[in-house]
Amino acid sequence: MNFLFVPPSLEDLVRLLRAWRFWVLGALLGALLGAALYYVVPPPYRAKATVNVDFNLEQAWPQDTDRQQFYYLERESRKLEEIAWSDEIMSQLSSEFAITDQDLRGGVLQLSQPAEAGWHFYADARDAKVAEGLASVWANAFVEKTQAEIEAGNINQFVKLEVTQSANLPKERSVPLSGYLLAGSAGFLTLAVFAVLFMKPKK
């Protein structure tokens, strides 16, 4: 048992380096296991809708002071993020797709690039069409709600939004096959290193 608590020696490291055939075989085996898992239990599909957000800094702050522009962008971006995740929009999606608010906020939906230019609305689902529908409805609901808030004076009037992509959305697996291959190889090799280091060699 004391062998388990002895730090690796130079001899142990040499044994690791000499077992290069074992590492190559292990990497291939781990990659095969990762590929098998990918096809047996594939990750969900991910669809992406895009909304172009233009804060019109030149009109909002014509005096062109960097500090004011920074706070303007931060404030309006935070307002738009709150709209995207608002209870009203989440309830709409929950009712239409029979997915709980907790699941929607807990990973089914993801928002990327919350600043000026393209905002990407991602949705994950086992069915590709469901993922596409979720992303599309979310993006359009966000624009409609934001337009209403602009008219009500709660969002700066110079903010302009446009849904640039909400139909025929790109859909792909949320985790690529290469990720499974890499994880399988790395996982197997990590276990193999511990096995070689902690198994006492026969004399």
State whether 65 and 146 are in the same domain. yes
Across residues 171-182, what is the average pLDDT?
85
Q: Is the per-residue pLDDT at 201 higher than 80? A: no
More confident residue, 55 or 124: 124
State whether 148 and 64 are in the same domain. yes
Could you tell me the pLDDT band of residue 1, with boundaries at 50, 70 and 90?
very low
State whether 65 and 125 are in the same domain. yes
State whether 75 and 164 are in the same domain. yes
Residue 203 forms part of a structural domain: no
Residue 160 forms part of a structural domain: yes
pLDDT in tens, 111-121: 987 666 789 99
State whether 163 and 182 are in the same domain. no
Number of domains in the chain: 2
State whether 165 and 100 are in the same domain. yes
Residue 72 forms part of a structural domain: yes
State how far the alpha carbon of 10 is from the alpha carbons of 4, 7, 15, 17, in Å: 16, 10, 9, 11
Three-class SS of residue 115? coil
174: nearest Cα among 118, 115, 108, 124: 124
Residue 116 forms part of a structural domain: yes
pLDDT in tens, 7-24: 555 665 666 666 667 777
CATH number for the domain harbouring residue 135: 3.30.70
State whether 97 and 144 are in the same domain. yes
| Per-residue model confidence (pLDDT) at position 7 | 56
Residue 18 forms part of a structural domain: yes
Could you tell me the pLDDT band of residue 3, with boundaries at 50, 70 and 90?
very low
Structural domain containing residue 17: 2-41+178-198
Alpha carbon distance 49, 165 (integer Å): 5
State whether 32 and 70 are in the same domain. no
Residue 8 forms part of a structural domain: yes
Burial class (CB in 10 A: 0-12, 13-18, 19+), 188: buried
- CB proximity list for 96: less than 8 A, separation 6 or greater: 137
19: nearest Cα among 151, 168, 193, 169: 193
State whether 158 and 77 are in the same domain. yes
Could you tell me the pLDDT band of residue 63, with boundaries at 50, 70 and 90?
low
State whether 10 and 87 are in the same domain. no
Across residues 66-95, what is the average pLDDT?
88
Residue 22 forms part of a structural domain: yes
State whether 66 and 82 are in the same domain. yes
- CB proximity list for 64: less than 8 A, separation 6 or greater: 58
State whether 115 and 184 are in the same domain. no
